[in-house]
């Protein structure tokens, strides 16, 4: 089966779901409780913009190729898109309940029956037929069917927003997976460089030991350090292969020995757009998971109204028009006209409390939906605060790790010179090399953590921000 064109389907289905929906109604108790801005201490003053294709800010064509594949073939997105189609079909069914039902009928009967006469029993063959159209329509005098229709369309809309949320989540996971592969590959390269350096150092120490310049202790320490680096390299390589296969699966590929698309080397972090200070809390309305929770809340509220109106009587109209004939051969040629028009009023007198219980259940579900929406709103605000703070801290960590690595590189050169000139023991040089190795690995990890914090911020904000949105909401 071909994969669904998810990026296009996302926009089309959400827009079609919005057609004819009532105006948004954010619960007052939540609207007045949400803070109006974020603390100025967790952002940078800026009017930067970032669109839905926010990963292009990294300037990495290889990453963009992975994103294109993932958005087209990711299984989670295909499942979410199918759920939108299902919800759309259910909404169409609910809307059809408000329309008249039209039908056609054609019937023919031929039978031999006893004649009602005395004496010798007798029988005769008779036939009859009817043809025509029929119609029925339940009048929605109290709005019950309209509320059921509105609830179904709100659930359709919620699935559309859920699809958008899944898309945002998948793009974030793709970037994280890609970044994980980059980071592990960079750490593997560091260990490979260190292994080559230690191999040369061990060979040099063995020659110096044979000449009697150093003791066997220095040789054994060099061998131990090389073995430790090789062990770390094997572990990093294992983690890299696992991460590569996970990235392939996330992009909709089958895991294999080699990646189907390349991954660019881990370079210096590009200049990413800064985060505007004091982003209004109303910007969280852009989060698709919150919009989905809001739509589900409105659907549950519509269910409450429909359940209450089920207490009222139902009124239905029906009618038939057609022809009948006692002779089947003349049914279509010269039938007798028949018709009927009727109206039914039905009021349930006793149902054992079933409808009252239905109202209570609908109200309880609406209360649950309201609490879920409130919890999601509070959690979203906290996620943005956490992401802003984490990004600021991650940038500081990366800067400090870079300075640490630079200082330890100088320290290693000085230790090498002191050892070669006989001013220090080999252990001092090993300590300097070990410290620099750990610093280089930490720099790669810090760079990964900074980008991860940036991705989490974008996810918390609902996929980026636009200057026009900021101005409007402020």
Most confident of 5-19, 28-42, 318-332: 318-332
Contact 430, 176 (CB under 8 A): no
Q: pTM of whole model > 0.85?
A: no
Instruction: Give bridge partners of residue 320 from the DSSP assignment.
Output: 134, 340
Rounded-to-10 torsion of CA 19, 20, 23, 24: -50
- With vertex at residue 292, the alpha carbon angle to CA 286 and CA 297, rounded to the nearest 5 degrees, is 120
Contact 415, 424 (CB under 8 A): yes
pLDDT in tens, 411-457: 999 998 998 888 888 888 888 888 988 898 898 889 889 889 988 88
- For the chain, how far is it from start to end, CA to CA, in angstroms? 47
pLDDT in tens, 101-120: 999 988 888 887 777 666 66
Report the C-alpha gap between 452 and 174 in whole angstroms: 11
Report the C-alpha gap between 419 and 399 in whole angstroms: 30
Contact 225, 198 (CB under 8 A): yes
pLDDT in tens, 35-73: 776 666 655 555 667 777 888 888 888 888 899 989 988
Return the residue matching tokens 């060979």: 203
Phi, psi at residue 319, to the nearest 5°?
A: -160, 155
> 189-223 burial, b if ≥16 CB within 10 A, otherwise e?
ebbeebbeebeebbeebbeebeeeebeeebbebbe
Report the C-alpha gap between 213 and 11 in whole angstroms: 74
């Amino acid at each position: 089966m071909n994969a669904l064109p998810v990026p296009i389907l996302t926009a089309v289905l959400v827009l079609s779901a919005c057609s004819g929906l009532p105006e948004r109604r954010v619960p007052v108790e939540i609207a007045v409780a949400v803070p109006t801005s974020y603390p100025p201490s967790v952002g940078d003053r800026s009017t930067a913009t970032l669109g839905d294709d926010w990963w292009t800010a990294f300037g990495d064509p290889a990453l963009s190729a992975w994103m294109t594949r993932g958005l087209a073939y990711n299984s989670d997105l295909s499942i979410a898109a199918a759920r939108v189609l299902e919800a759309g079909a259910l909404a169409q069914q609910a809307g059809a309940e408000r329309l008249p039902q039209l039908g056609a009928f054609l019937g023919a009967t031929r039978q031999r029956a006893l004649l009602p006469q005395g004496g010798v029993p007798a029988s005769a063959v008779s036939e009859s037929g009817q043809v025509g159209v029929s119609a029925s329509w339940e009048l929605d005098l109290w709005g019950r069917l309209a509320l059921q229709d509105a609830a179904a369309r709100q659930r359709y809309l919620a699935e559309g927003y859920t699809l958008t949320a899944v898309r945002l989540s998948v793009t974030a996971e793709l970037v994280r997976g890609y970044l994980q592969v980059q980071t592990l590959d960079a750490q593997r390269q560091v260990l490979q460089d260190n292994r080559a350096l230690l191999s040369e150092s061990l060979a040099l120490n063995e020659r110096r030991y044979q000449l009697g310049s150093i003791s066997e202790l220095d040789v054994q320490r060099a061998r131990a350090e090389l073995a430790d680096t090789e062990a770390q390299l094997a572990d990093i390589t294992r983690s890299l292969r696992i991460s590569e296969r996970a990235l392939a699966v996330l992009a909709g590929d089958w895991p294999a020995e080699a990646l189907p698309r390349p991954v660019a080397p881990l370079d210096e972090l590009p200049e990413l757009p800064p985060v505007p200070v004091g982003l209004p809390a109303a910007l969280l309305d852009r989060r698709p998971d919150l919009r989905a929770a809001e739509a589900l809340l409105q659907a549950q509220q519509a269910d409450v109204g429909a359940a209450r109106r089920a207490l009222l009587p139902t009124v239905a109209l029906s009618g038939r028009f057609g022809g009948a004939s006692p002779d089947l051969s003349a049914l279509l040629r010269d039938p007798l006209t028949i018709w009927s028009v009727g109206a039914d009023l039905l009021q349930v007198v006793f149902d054992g409390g079933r409808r009252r219980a239905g109202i209570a259940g609908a109200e309880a579900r609406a209360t649950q939906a309201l609490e879920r929406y409130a919890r999601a709103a509070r959690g979203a605000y906290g996620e943005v605060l956490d992401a802003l703070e984490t990004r600021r801290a991650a940038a500081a960590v990366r800067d400090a790790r870079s300075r640490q690595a630079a200082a330890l590189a100088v320290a290693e050169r000085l230790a090498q010179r002191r050892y070669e000139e006989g001013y220090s023991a080999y252990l001092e040089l090993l300590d300097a090399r070990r410290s620099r190795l750990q610093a280089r690995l930490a720099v790669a990890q810090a760079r990964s953590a900074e980008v991860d914090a940036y991705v989490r911020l974008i996810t918390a904000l609902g996929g980026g921000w636009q200057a026009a949105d900021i101005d409007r909401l402020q």
